[in-house]
C-alpha cells in the first residue's frame, strides 16, 4: 500500500548553517524515492507567505552537498509571530496540497512549524543552526563546520597575539548560546571563556587575572567572548587601559556561518533530512528530528520545544581547570 503523503515541501529558515544543502538534498531525494512530489519553498516562511514555491526533482539538488549556505535561501520572518498570518500560512500549505512540510532551522523556525502543526499542517523540524542550542537534540547541522572555522581563526589570531605579546579578545557567534565559545575555548586553549550562561560580568576579575599571569611570565592572553557578552572592542580598550597589555579585539562574525560543510555536518544532515521524510511517509505527524545519546530520534513538536538545555557543567569547569 502506497503512502498517503503525496506532496512534501521543504524550507530553510532563520540563520543559515553549513550542511543545510545536504539536508535539502536528503529530503528531496528520499521523498522522490518514496514516490512523493517535492516542492521547495524559497526564503523560509517569508517565501511561503509570498507563495514562492518551486517544484523540485533529483537534479535540483545535484552538486550541492559540498556547498555552504542554502539553495532555497532563508529569512527570519517576524510576521509569522502573528496569529492571523499563521492562519494564512496554513491556508497556503493547504492550497498547494502540501501533506508534509520539512522545516530546516533553529528553535525560532521550529516555532513556525509548531504553529502550522497546531493548524493541521504536518510539519516536521530538522535542527539546522550553528548555535547547537536546540534542547531536544545533542547535534545541530552546521555546528561542526562553524566551530572548526572559529577554531582555525583563533589559532591564527593566537600566532600573532603571541608574537606581539598581546591580549586578544576574540568574539565568536552565539547571541544566546555559548556552545561555540566553550568548544573553542577548550580547543584553542584560551585563558578566559565568556559565555552568557555563566559570565558574571566581573571584568575586574579578568583584569586581575591578566596582571597576575603576566607577573608569572605569561606572554599572551586569549579571551574567547561569545557574542552577546558585552562589546568586544570596548572590553579590549578597557583591558589595555587597566593592565598595560596591548589588547586587540577580533570579531569572527558571519564567516562562521559559511563554508563547505564538514563530513560530520553532511552526514548528520543527510541522516536527519531523510529521517524527516521517513517519518512523514510512515504516517507520523508533527515531529522534531534529533540526535540523542548516539541515536537518531524524534519527538512530538510540542514536547521537543518545551525541553531546555544548558551547557555541560563538567565541560565548563574543565575549561577553567585547563586554562591555569
Ligand atoms: O543563530 C545563528 C546566529 O549566527 C547566531 O549565532 C547569531 O547570534 C545570529 O545568528 C546572527 O544573526 P544575523 O545573521 O541575523 O545577524
Ligand 1 pocket residue status of 257, Cβ below 6 Å:
yes
What does pTM read for this prediction? Answer: 0.96
Question: Tell me: the pLDDT tens digits for 236-270?
Answer: 999 999 999 999 999 999 999 999 999 999 999 99
What are the sequence ranges of the domains in the chain? 7-142+261-306, 146-258
* DSSP string for residues in 216-233: TT---EEEEEETBSB-HH
Decide whether 7-142+261-306 matches 146-258 in CATH topology. yes
Q: Find the catalytic residue in 16, 131, 144, 298.
A: 131
Give me ligand 1 centre to Cα 256, in Å. Answer: 10
230 lines ligand 1 (CB under 6 A): no
**Residue from 15, 111, 140, 147 whose mutation best tests the ligand 1 pocket (most atoms within 8 A of CB):** 15
Ligand 1 centroid to Cα of residue 208, in Å, is 32
131 is catalytic: yes
Q: Which CATH number fits domain 7-142+261-306: 3.40.190.10, 3.40.50.450, 3.40.1440.10, 3.30.1330.40?
A: 3.40.50.450
Residue the block writes with cell 565568536: 172
Beta strands in 204-317 (DSSP E): 221-226, 247-251, 287-292, 295-300
pLDDT reported for residue 2: 54
Q: Give 253 Cα–ligand 1 centroid separation in angstroms.
A: 9
d(CA 128, CA 226): 19
Q: How far is the CA of 196 from the centre of ligand 1 (A)?
A: 15
Q: How many residues does the chain have?
A: 324
Residues 74-133: tens digit of each pLDDT: 999 999 999 999 999 999 999 999 999 999 999 999 999 999 999 999 999 999 999 999
Low-confidence ranges of the chain (pLDDT < 50): 1
Q: Which atom of ligand 1 is nearest to the CA of 227?
A: 8
CA distances from 186 to 136, 190, 222, 324 (A): 24, 7, 11, 12
3 state DSSP class of 155: helix
- Distances in Å between the Cα of 32 and the Cα atoms of 12, 25, 28, 322 are 19, 11, 6, 50
Max Cα-Cα span within the chain: 76
Strands 295-300 and 287-292, bridge-based pairing: antiparallel
Residue to mutate (ligand 1; options 175, 176, 182, 232; most atoms within 8 A of CB): 175
Q: How high is the pLDDT of residue 1?
A: 47
Q: Domain 146-258 has what CATH class?
A: alpha beta
Amino acid at each position: 500500500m502506497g503512502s498517503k503523503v503525496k506532496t512534501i515541501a521543504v524550507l530553510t529558515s532563520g540563520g543559515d548553517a553549513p550542511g543545510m544543502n545536504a539536508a535539502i538534498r536528503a529530503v528531496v531525494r528520499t521523498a522522490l524515492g518514496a514516490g512523493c512530489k517535492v516542492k521547495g519553498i524559497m526564503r523560509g516562511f517569508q517565501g511561503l507567505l509570498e507563495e514562492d514555491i518551486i517544484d523540485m526533482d533529483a537534479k535540483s539538488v545535484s552538486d550541492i552537498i559540498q556547498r555552504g549556505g542554502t539553495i532555497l535561501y532563508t529569512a527570519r520572518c517576524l510576521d509569522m509571530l502573528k496569529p492571523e498570518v499563521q492562519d494564512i500560512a496554513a491556508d497556503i500549505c493547504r492550497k498547494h496540497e502540501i501533506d508534509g512540510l520539512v522545516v530546516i532551522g533553529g528553535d525560532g523556525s521550529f516555532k513556525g512549524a509548531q504553529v502550522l502543526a497546531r493548524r493541521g499542517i504536518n510539519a516536521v523540524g530538522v535542527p539546522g543552526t550553528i548555535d547547537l542550542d536546540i534542547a531536544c537534540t545533542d547535534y545541530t547541522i552546521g555546528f561542526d563546520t562553524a566551530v572548526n572555522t572559529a577554531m582555525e581563526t583563533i589559532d591564527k589570531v593566537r600566532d600573532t597575539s603571541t608574537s606581539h605579546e598581546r591580549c586578544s579578545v576574540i568574539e565568536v557567534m552565539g547571541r544566546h548560546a555559548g556552545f561555540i565559545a566553550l568548544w573553542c575555548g577548550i580547543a584553542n586553549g584560551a585563558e578566559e571563556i565568556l559565555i552568557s550562561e555563566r559570565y558574571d560580568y566581573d571584568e575586574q576579575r579578568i583584569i586581575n587575572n591578566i596582571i597576575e599571569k603576566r607577573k608569572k611570565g605569561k606572554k599572551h592572553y586569549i579571551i574567547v567572548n561569545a557574542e552577546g557578552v558585552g562589546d568586544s572592542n570596548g572590553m579590549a580598550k578597557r583591558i589595555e587601559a587597566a593592565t598595560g597589555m596591548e589588547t586587540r579585539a577580533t570579531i569572527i562574525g558571519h564567516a562562521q556561518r559559511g563554508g563547505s560543510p564538514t563530513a560530520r555536518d553532511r552526514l548528520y544532515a543527510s541522516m536527519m533530512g531523510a529521517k524527516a521524510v521517513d517519518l512523514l511517509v510512515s504516517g507520523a505527524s508533527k515531529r522534531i528530528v534529533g540526535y540523542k545519546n548516539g541515536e537518531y530520534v524524534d519527538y512530538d513538536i510540542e514536547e521537543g520545544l518545551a525541553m531546555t538545555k544548558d551547557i555541560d557543567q563538567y565541560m565548563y569547569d574543565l575549561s577553567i581547570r585547563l586554562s591555569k
